Structure 1
Amino acid sequence: MTPASVALRAAIHHALTSDTALLAALGGPRIYDEPPREAAFPFVTLGEARISDVSADDAPTQEHQLTLHAWSRQGGHKEAHLITGALLQALDDAPLAPSGHRLVNLRFALADIRREPDGRTYHALVRFRAVTEPVS
């Protein structure tokens, strides 16, 4: 991971753990980089990241494609959709301040909500695209 991606993930985690609507949907601050072995449902995990150099001049600019995962076992697909909506409200175009970097933009890209093979767990993959530049 790059310093920009580490700073961006930290800023995202802080934004999510500070968002009252998301915390209400989750029943508390259940937002993890790696969930505890016996994590209570529902919860959100910070997932995969793809980082690309999109520099157009002397300033090193990076594009980040980030995936968040929401996990639910209550109320069928409805809870997974509500959590996905709360993630969008918390992050889409949010004015985050990753340490040492400027967030050019953070935009929702797509969401994929599906039932897992166990038949009772719903899994939402929520993807965002961000662009960062170092603070000069």
Structure 2
Amino acid sequence: MAGSANALQAAIHAWLAGDTTLTALIGADSVFDRRVTGKAMPYLVLSEIVTSDFAPGLEEHIVTIEAWSDAGGRKQSQDIAARVRVLLDGASPALSGFALVNLGHQRTVARREVKSKAQVAAMVFRAVTE
């Protein structure tokens, strides 16, 4: 099953980057696999994927996606998170070389990043691949 996490990340990235409503909220080319210093906010970061064996031939992935905003208050980051949830909860983006069994939202945590003073809405999704 090596590589299913990478295939999942690529599929999620493409799914999010292809949505015009989300692009209107964060701008073009604003979905990253790491935090980009110097990039104007808002943007999304696919920050973490924790992969575990789930059953023979299946892997479980806990995916964290962060909406970063430098706007005052949490509204902008939470609006972005709401759109991401609509796009991914129950979605079935195509994975290269693997099949997505399911993808669902588990929780969203909104916080203020102390160092940068940015607002962050961290969304956690669970995916199973085969």
Q: TM-score range by the shorter chain?
A: over 0.9
Could you list the runs of 5+ residues in structure 2 that have no partner in the other structure?
Answer: none
Give the percent of matched residue pairs that are identical in Structure 1 and Structure 2.
38
Residues 92, 106 of structure 1: 8 Å contact kept: yes
Q: TM-score, normalised by structure 1?
A: 0.89
Where does residue 102 of structure 2 map in the other structure?
A: 105
SS of the residue aligned with 1:54? Answer: strand
Q: Give CA deviations for 1:10-47 in whole Å, capped at 9, x if unaligned.
A: 00000010011111111223011124431110011111
Q: Secondary structure at the match of 2:96?
A: coil
TM-score (norm 2): 0.93
**Cα distance in 2, alignment partners of residues 119 and 37 from structure 1:** 10
Residue 127 of structure 1 pairs with residue 124 of structure 2: yes
Cα RMSD after superposing both structures: 1.6
Name structure 1 gaps, 5 residues minimum. Answer: none
Structure having the higher Rg: 1
Q: Aligned residues, how many?
A: 130
Give the counterpart letter for 1:111 in structure 2: T
Q: 1:118, CA displacement in angstroms? A: 4.5
Runs of 4+ in 1 over 2 A off after TM superposition: 34-37
Matched, 1:32 2:25: no
Letter in 2 for 1:84: A
